[in-house]
Amino acid sequence: MASSSDIHLAQATRSQIPGDNRWTFAAETDSSPDIETPSVSLPTAVNSVPLDGDITYPERDCDAWLAVLGAWCGLTASLGIYDTAGVFEVLISESILPEESSPTLGWIFSIYAFVNWICGVQIGPTFDAMGPRKLLIAGTICTLIRIFALSFCTEYYQIILSFSKSTGIGSSLLLTPSMGCVAHWFMERRGLASGIAFVGGFGGVLFPLMIQSLLPQVGWEWSIRILGFVLLLLCFVNVTFCRSRIPPRKGAATTWRDTLPDLQIFMEGTGAMAITTAGVL
């Protein structure tokens, strides 16, 4: 005859839930007064990471749409300069360096485009760790100083240093945080808000027309300086309104390791991301 302990063990085995780590013992009445029925329940893991559905996005607040306005101004400044590069090449070949060949002048804007996009690999993680404000201020200073310096350039190497490298870094510092800031404020309307912000790319249409209309009146130097003042206004609005909704982390200070990019992203899709990035650059 089976003992009472054997009966309880069989009951526990039959009541085990498949796929669960918990053992639930059946609460059945036992005629044996000297044996108690155990009840064991192991703790289960609790997911402490909130999902997007648990986060509130203030999409209807005034601050959210002011952030879109700030992003619009930042993208107008950054993409406006980027899309005006072809006009700059023609003007530089006619006004400053008429003796240089077209392939030689092409290096000015090829380096600018490369610097503008490759810096985003580092600026993105820095934005996640520090927020947009410091990056936008640095981008404003870098862009304005070098645009005004471009109006004084007379040599090939000066244009490489002022426009290709420094303005490329400044444009990237404006571009990446302005794009990322919108996502902090919107979830359901993120596509609409991002689309409105990216309308700022029309600066690539506005800036060439403005420069071409100013050239006969004030010349190359003052045309670039007036463009610099327009960029100053756009960057001021960008820095004022384009801010993060998420407060900075408390407790631990941000270190340089927090701003390093995760290079594993380039291996996603069996290296497809790396190939796509190389093609863009």
48: DSSP letter: -
Confidence of residue 76 (pLDDT cuts 50, 70, 90): very high
Domain ranges (residues) in the chain: 1-30, 61-246+254-280
- Residue 13 and residue 157: Cα distance in Å, rounded? 81
61-246+254-280 in CATH: which number? Answer: 1.20.1250.20
**Structure tokens belonging to residue 176:** 């990446």
pLDDT of the residue at 142: 92
User: What percent of the chain clears pLDDT 70, i.e. is strictly above it?
Assistant: 66
- Phi/psi at 204 (5° precision): -70, -15
Greatest Cα-to-Cα distance within the chain, rounded to the nearest angstrom: 112
**Structure tokens belonging to residue 87:** 């006009």
User: In 3D, which of 146, 130, 110 has the Cα closest to residue 225?
Assistant: 146
Taking the alpha carbons of 92, 93, 94, 95 in that order, is the dihedral positive or negative?
positive
Instruction: Please write the tens of the pLDDT for every residue from 224-235.
Output: 999 999 999 999
Give me the mean pLDDT over the 163-170 stretch: 86
- Residue 21 and residue 42: Cα distance in Å, rounded? 7
* 159: Cα separation from own chain's centroid: 28
0.85 surpassed by pTM: no
Instruction: Please write the tens of the pLDDT for every residue from 44-62.
Output: 433 333 444 456 666 677 8
